[in-house]
Amino acid sequence: MAGRTWRALFDRARDAGVTEEDIHDALADQRADA
Amino acid sequence: MPDSGGPDPAALAADVDVLAADLFVGGDSRDAMDAVRAHDWVTLVASEPLLDDAEAIVAALADADLASDWREKAEALATLVDHPDGDHPALSAAVHGGAAHVLSMDGQLQSAATGAALSRRADVSVKSPAAFARLFDPERLYPTVVGGEYPGPDRDPRE
The bridge status of strand B99-103 relative to strand B78-80 is unpaired
| Percentage of the residues of chain B whose pLDDT score is greater than 70 | 90
| Residue-wise DSSP of A18-34 | --HHHHHHHHHHHHHH-
- Give a yes or no: residue B1 inside a domain: no
Is B60–A26 a contact, with Cβ atoms under 8 angstroms apart? yes
- d(CA B3, CA A21) in angstroms, rounded, equals 41
Residues in chain B: 159
Top-confidence residue, A17 or B110: A17
Residue B48, SS3 per DSSP: helix
Average pLDDT, stretch B73-93? 94
pLDDT at A1: 45
Q: Which chain B residue has the Cα nearest residue A31?
A: B53
- Inspect the interface and report whether the beta carbons of B17 and A12 lie closer than 8 Å: no
- Min mean pLDDT across A19-23, B60-64, B84-88, B119-123 is at B119-123
| Mean pLDDT, all residues of chain B | 92
Q: Is B131 contained in some domain? A: yes
- Is residue B25 over pLDDT 50? yes
pTM summary value: 0.93
A31 in contact with chain B, both atoms CB, cutoff 8 A: no
Interface of B with A in 16-55 (CB under 8 A): 16-17, 20-21, 23-26, 30, 37, 53
Alpha-carbon gap, residue B124 to B100, rounded angstroms: 5
Which pLDDT does position B116 carry in this prediction?
62
Domain around B57: 16-141
Domains: count for chain B: 1
Residue B3 has pLDDT above 70, yes or no: no
Residue B33 inside a domain? The answer is yes
Q: Into how many domains does chain A fold?
A: 1
Cβ pair B128, B14 in contact under 8 A: no
Give the whole-angstrom CA distance, residue B101 versus residue B12: 5
B89-145 pLDDT per residue, tens? 999 999 999 999 999 999 888 776 666 666 656 678 999 999 999 999 999 999 999
Q: Is residue B153 part of a domain?
A: no
Q: What pLDDT does residue B120 have? A: 58
* pLDDT of B70 over the 70 cut: yes
pLDDT at B142: 98
Which structural domain range is residue A7 located in?
1-34
State the pLDDT at residue B1: 45
